[in-house]
A and B are shown apart, each in its own frame.
Chain A
Amino acid sequence: MADSTAALSIRGVTKEFATPEGGVVRALDDVSLEIDEGSFTVLLGPSGCGKTTLLRSIAGLETPDAGEIRLRGERIDDEPVWKRRVNTVFQSYALFPHMTVAQNIAFGLEMDRVPKAEIAKAVESSLAMVRLEGLGGRRPSQLSGGQQQRVALARALAKKPEVLLLDEPLSALDLKLRRGMQMELKRLQRETSITFVLVTHDQEEAMAMADTVAVFDSGRIAQVGEPRDVYLRPRTRFVADFIGEANVLPATFLSDRADVDALGVLEADLLSGTEGLTSGQPGFVAMRPENILWSRDEQGQARVVDVTFVGGDLHIDVLVGEHPCAIRTSSHVAEPPRVGEALRLEFPAGSVRWVTD
Chain B
Amino acid sequence: MIRRARGSGEALKDFPLFGVMSAAVFGFLYLPLLFVVGYSFNENRVVTVWKGFTFDWYVDVLQNDDIQRALMNSLRVATVATALSVLFALGLAIGMLRLARAGSTLAWGLIGAPLIIPEIVFAIGTLSLFVQVRFSLGVDAITLAHTAFCIPFALLPIRARLRSVDLSVYEAAADLGANEWRIFRRITLPLLVPGIVAGALLAFIISLDDFIVSYFLAGPGGTTLPVYIFGMIRNAITPGVNALSTLLLLVSVLIVSISYVISRRKR
> A90–B176 Cα gap in the complex (Å)?
12
A94-B172, A96-B187, A98-B191 are known contacts. Are A159 and B179 too (CB-CB below 8 A)? no
A82, A92, A112: the one within 8 Å of B175 (CB): A82
Main secondary structure of the interface of B (DSSP, over half): helix
Q: Does B113 contact A (CB under 8 A)?
A: no
Chain A residues near B169: list those with CB within 8 A.
Answer: 94-97
Q: Does A333 contact B (CB under 8 A)?
A: no
Chain B residues with CB under 8 Å of chain A are 165-166, 168-169, 171-179, 182, 186-187, 190-191
A92, A95, A96, A112: the one within 8 Å of B177 (CB): A112
Q: Does A80 contact B (CB under 8 A)?
A: yes
Per-residue contact bits, chain A 124-157, to B (CB 8 Å; 1 contact, 0 not): 0000000000000000000000000000000110
> A53–B191 Cα gap in the complex (Å)?
28
Q: Closest Cβ of chain A: how far from B253's Cβ, in Å? A: 30
Number of interface residues of A (CB under 8 A): 24
Q: Which residue of A lies closest to B194 (CB)?
A: A98
Q: Does A81 contact B (CB under 8 A)?
A: yes
Cβ-defined contact, B177 with A108, below 8 A: yes
Given contacts A61-B174, A92-B166, A107-B186, 6 further A-B contacts (CB under 8 A): A59-B175, A88-B171, A90-B171, A108-B177, A111-B182, A155-B172
User: Among A98, A107, A155, A159, which residue has the most Cβ atoms of chain B within 10 A?
Assistant: A98
Cβ-defined contact, B171 with A111, below 8 A: no
Chain B residues near A92: list those with CB within 8 A.
Answer: 166, 168
Q: Does A87 contact B (CB under 8 A)?
A: yes
Interface residues of A in 29-76 (CB under 8 A from B): 59-61
Cβ-defined contact, B166 with A108, below 8 A: no
Q: Closest Cβ of chain B: how far from A44's Cβ, in Å? A: 22
Q: Closest Cβ of chain B: how far from A94's Cβ, in Å? A: 4
Cβ-defined contact, A80 with B168, below 8 A: no
Q: Which residue of A lies closest to B168 (CB)?
A: A94
Q: Closest Cβ of chain B: how far from A227's Cβ, in Å? A: 28
Chain A residues near B168: list those with CB within 8 A.
Answer: 90-92, 94
Q: Closest Cβ of chain B: how far from A153's Cβ, in Å? A: 12
Chain A residues near B165: list those with CB within 8 A.
Answer: 97
